[in-house]
Amino acid sequence: MYKYLLLLVFLSFDFYSKGQYYRLSQADTIVVYNVRNQTIEMIPPVLFDITHSFDSTPSSIGAMGKKIRLDVVPPENNLVDGTRFTYMERAEINFDVSSYPVRTAVRLKAWVNDTLKNRCSGTMVADNLVLTAAHCLWGEKAWTLDSLLVAPAFDNGEYQLEIASSLVDKYYIFKSYYDSEFHDIALLELRKPIGFKTGWQGIAFNTDTTFYTQNVFHKLSYPSIRSPFDSTLIFNGDTLYYNYGLIDYFGNNWNLPYIGVKNGSELGIPGISGSSLFYTNNVDYYVHGVANFSRNLNHYLIGRNVFYQLRNIIDNYAMYVNEQIDESNPLILYPNPASINITVEFHCADNNHYTLGVYNMQGQLVKVVENITDPYFSFERNNLPSGVYLFQIFDKSGGVNYVKKVLFI
């Protein structure tokens, strides 16, 4: 009897309930590495409906605004030979790099033996989560980095003055990668909710393969060495690059799905690992693939199974930025989670009047409380739907600005 129970645990299986088919797979267990205390936890796989052909997490423009339009028409110039995809150009040639969605691209810098080194690329996909490649974190069967620093829209060797950077507190990778280097994709949980300001892109899957071959995809990344294909192209990882076009590769490697560009290997410069292929109609922004290696500019395709495990992290596990006492943030919210009202406690040395802004996870301002002078006051939930909200308390001079999360259940 026991051997059959064990077999059930390790096999994927489908079942039918309430008119829908669901799937559960042990291979989708998530390994969570806590950087601060160097501990490991496991998150079991979640059920998902195998009849869904498309699903996505929301994107957000963030508090900074400044959204630009990206070209949705296939390019005609600056094309890599044999492709409909452009060569990389410095992003600043085409865009203000602090605009949305350009600023959702992040540079990953790694602390190794007290030295800060360029590592990989990534994309903001929630207020405190970055999507990247698992091999950027894990190598030679070990966590190889002391810690990671995430810098949005890092360009020309400079941080954006109006955008904060953040250290990474947790790494999320699939156990199948942890065991045998399959599913080369990862999430990074940040110490600060910098996406509240920068905004973020959604994650999506689509089972219709024609979607990938008929739409324009975009790419923002940080190539970091001299091109092995063109010695005149020298990259150092300190500058944000952009390219876009049509993808024409939809295949499998190690029985896993990949998308990319045939004859696009010369675009696969080290440093772009972890960057995204993303789609937009200039309303929604969805990441569909994460760069893994240069051949055919391969990007690990986010399928249905992987998507729902990542969404489980976004919705249920990475909900609080920093639950430890933070003396630099005097904003205290309790109870949290809350069902009705919440007490807002804010202590500051001056006697200014403060404003509380409450934002939903799409970056929309849903409620404002002005002229706050009492260090304790009750926030009335009223008709706010259940979900995660960002509470920002600030003064009009800009001298005070603190943010924390609240979950209404």
Q: Show the 3-state SS of 116-144.
A: EEEEEEEEEEECCEEEECHHHCEECCEEC
Whether the per-residue pLDDT at 339 is higher than 50: the answer is: yes
pLDDT at 12: 46
163 vs 188, more confident? 188
Share of the chain above pLDDT 70, in %: 83
pLDDT digits (tens, 9 = 90+) for 36-59: 888 999 999 998 888 899 999 999
Task: Report the chain's mean pLDDT, rounded to a whole number.
Answer: 83
Say what the pTM is: 0.75
For residue 258, is pLDDT > 60? yes
pLDDT at 244 over 50: yes
The arithmetic mean of pLDDT across residues 303-319, rounded, is 89
Domain annotation for the chain: domains and CATH numbers: 54-316 (2.40.10.10), 331-408 (2.60.40.3080)
For residue 192, what are the CA distances in angstroms to 164, 229, 348, 397?
A: 8, 39, 20, 22
Strand residues in 78-209 grouped as ranges (E): 84-85, 89-90, 105-112, 115-126, 129-132, 138-139, 142-143, 147-152, 166-174, 186-190, 202-206
pLDDT at 11: 39
Residue 158, Cβ density class (10 Å: 0-12 exposed, 13-18 middle, ≥19 buried)? exposed
Please check the confidence at residue 200 and state whether its pLDDT lies above 90: yes
Cα separations (Å) of 335 from 77, 359, 402, 409? 57, 18, 18, 11
- Among 3-12, 26-35, 74-83, 320-329, which stretch is predicted with the lowest mean pLDDT? 3-12
